[in-house]
Amino acid sequence: MQTKEAKLKRGMFQNVMKQFNAVADLIELNESIRKILEATNNEIVIHFPVKMDNGEVKVFTGYRVQHNNALGPYKGGLRYHETTDTDSVKALAMWMTWKTSLVGLPFGGAKGGIKLNPSNYSKEELERITRRFVFALGDNIGPEHDIPAPDVNTNSQMMAWISDTYMSTRTPSERSNYQHVVTGKPVGSGGLEGRDRATGYGVYLTIKYWTKNNNVSLKGKKFIVQGFGNVGYWTSHFLEKDGAILVGVQDAFGSIAYGKGIQVEKLQEYIQYNKGSIVNYPNAQSIQSDDFYALSCDICIPAALGNQITEENAYKIKAFLVAEGANGPTSVEGEQILLEKGIAVIPDILCNAGGVIASYFEWLQNKHGELWELEDVLVKLEKKLHKSFDKVVEVSRKRNVDMRTAAYIIAIERIEQSYLQRGIFP
């Protein structure tokens, strides 16, 4: 029998292929380029041993999938999760290719991770696992070749271990040339001011642009968030600052709701002392996980895993806007239901692109030996994201298509043009 987990993972890859093929048909994508983009350039699977705290040796499986590098070095996060496998990472790598292309960055798309549940390991074990994986990847990553970043269950500390391991395996005189092998590092170790909040800030900005375009005020609007990690928290932080009210949260451990408003900073403080979980938060009610997407709200923000809004629950959603903080949170069938109900969707490759835009800035900062200030980072990020948002809206209006289709058209046509200009070697 097919498990729910297997269905979700297979679903992600099927979704990205369906989305790609639909737009390739629509724009009559050059057949040779279609064949190239349907495939992933490299799929690396590594089994590597790590010594546990009790002396036992465990073998882990790590993945790095490099989808396409027509526009520049491969770029994409590393995910530590039990569901990580080649298919899920392939889907996530393709979404990175479309995202970097859409927002006009000189990067391609990749993704990777390790199949594990990090809560089962000590900090010391996670450090050894991370470092050994990076060592095993060797020159499959590199500052001008493939640049990882944080994703689900990975953070700035892990990025610091990655850069340190990679740099330590180079000769002493050239070590400092390699700091931009990874982005999302802590500020003291080559990281960029504001990278921590960049994805959530971008999600908030795209919601703000959408509401402005549609003459809706954010003040008093109710929103729900699935996932209260990096993306979910920062999105909520900025929305609340702008007068919106958080009324429901779901994470890996449970779901809570409170119609009068859940205070974002208080919840964030609570989870620091509750092993990262929202469960039993005293100022809200616990609800069944199946009831989460049925909560009464105006804006719904999936910011956890892929394939969460499907034909099984999309009909329950009451919001007028779904803003995809997560990568691939909505299945093709789920989106169809949302659109038929008149619910707008800000697609992931636009909505959460603030993260990779800031990663690009961090990469530039390290490459040029600079230190950027927070204010400059946020201003530059805003400018780039706003331009991309307006372009998506323009194409969506001109071609009378939804925002995801418009975003894919822009992304795929940019890559097509690059291939047409340079040809196929030899």
Q: Which residues are catalytic?
A: 111
Choices 54-62, 246-254, 311-319, 390-398; region in contact with ligand NAD by CB under 6 A: 246-254
Euclidean distance between CA atoms 306 and 331, whole angstroms: 8
According to the binding rule CB under 6 A, does residue 65 interact with ligand NAD? no
Tell me which of 146, 355, 406, 415 binds ligand NAD, using CB under 6 A: 355
Indicate the residue among 231 and 321 with the shorter CB distance to ligand NAD: 231
Alpha helices (H) in 41-194, listed in sequence order: 86-102, 123-137, 156-168
According to the binding rule CB under 6 A, does residue 251 interact with ligand NAD? yes
Q: Which residues 6+ apart lie within 8 Å of 63 measured at CB?
A: 43, 44, 45, 46, 84, 85, 86, 89, 112, 113, 114, 115
Shortest Cβ 306–ligand NAD spacing (Å): 6
Region for residue 183 given its phi and psi (left: phi exceeds 0; alpha: psi -120 to 50; beta: otherwise) = beta
Shortest Cβ 236–ligand NAD spacing (Å): 11
According to the binding rule CB under 6 A, does residue 252 interact with ligand NAD? yes
Choices 171-179, 220-228, 360-368, 379-387; region in contact with ligand NAD by CB under 6 A: 220-228
Question: For residues 138-167, which are near ligand NAD according to CB under 6 A?
Answer: 150-153
Nearest to 192, CA basis, from 413, 370, 403? 370
Choices 320-328, 377-385, 388-396, 412-420; region in contact with ligand NAD by CB under 6 A: 320-328
Inter-helix orientation angle 374-399/195-213, to 10°: 40
Q: Which residues 6+ apart lie within 8 Å of 39 measured at CB?
A: none
Euclidean distance between CA atoms 162 and 156, whole angstroms: 10
Interface with ligand NAD (CB under 6 A), residue total 23
According to the binding rule CB under 6 A, does residue 331 interact with ligand NAD? no
Residue 209 parent element (H or E): helix 195-213
Tell me which of 40, 163, 331, 352 binds ligand NAD, using CB under 6 A: 352
According to the binding rule CB under 6 A, does residue 205 interact with ligand NAD? no
Tell me which of 160, 231, 239, 246 binds ligand NAD, using CB under 6 A: 231
Question: Which amino acid, residue 24?
Answer: A
Token digits of residue 314? 């999309």
According to the binding rule CB under 6 A, does residue 236 interact with ligand NAD? no
According to the binding rule CB under 6 A, does residue 226 interact with ligand NAD? yes
Question: For residues 257-296, which are near ligand NAD according to CB under 6 A?
Answer: none
Indicate the residue among 63 and 228 with the shorter CB distance to ligand NAD: 228
Under DSSP, the state recorded for 290 is G
Indicate the residue among 33 and 162 with the shorter CB distance to ligand NAD: 162
Token digits of residue 336? 């169809």
According to the binding rule CB under 6 A, does residue 304 interact with ligand NAD? yes
Q: How far is the CA of 331 from the CAs of 58, 143, 198, 223, 318, in angstroms?
A: 35, 33, 25, 21, 17
Token digits of residue 1? 């029998």
Shortest Cβ 233–ligand NAD spacing (Å): 8
Euclidean distance between CA atoms 13 and 74, whole angstroms: 19
Following CA atoms 176, 155, 245, 214 in sequence, which dihedral angle do they give, to the nearest 10 degrees?
A: 50
Q: Please give the residue ranges that form the binding site for ligand NAD (CB under 6 A).
A: 150-153, 199, 226-232, 250-252, 303-305, 325-327, 352, 355
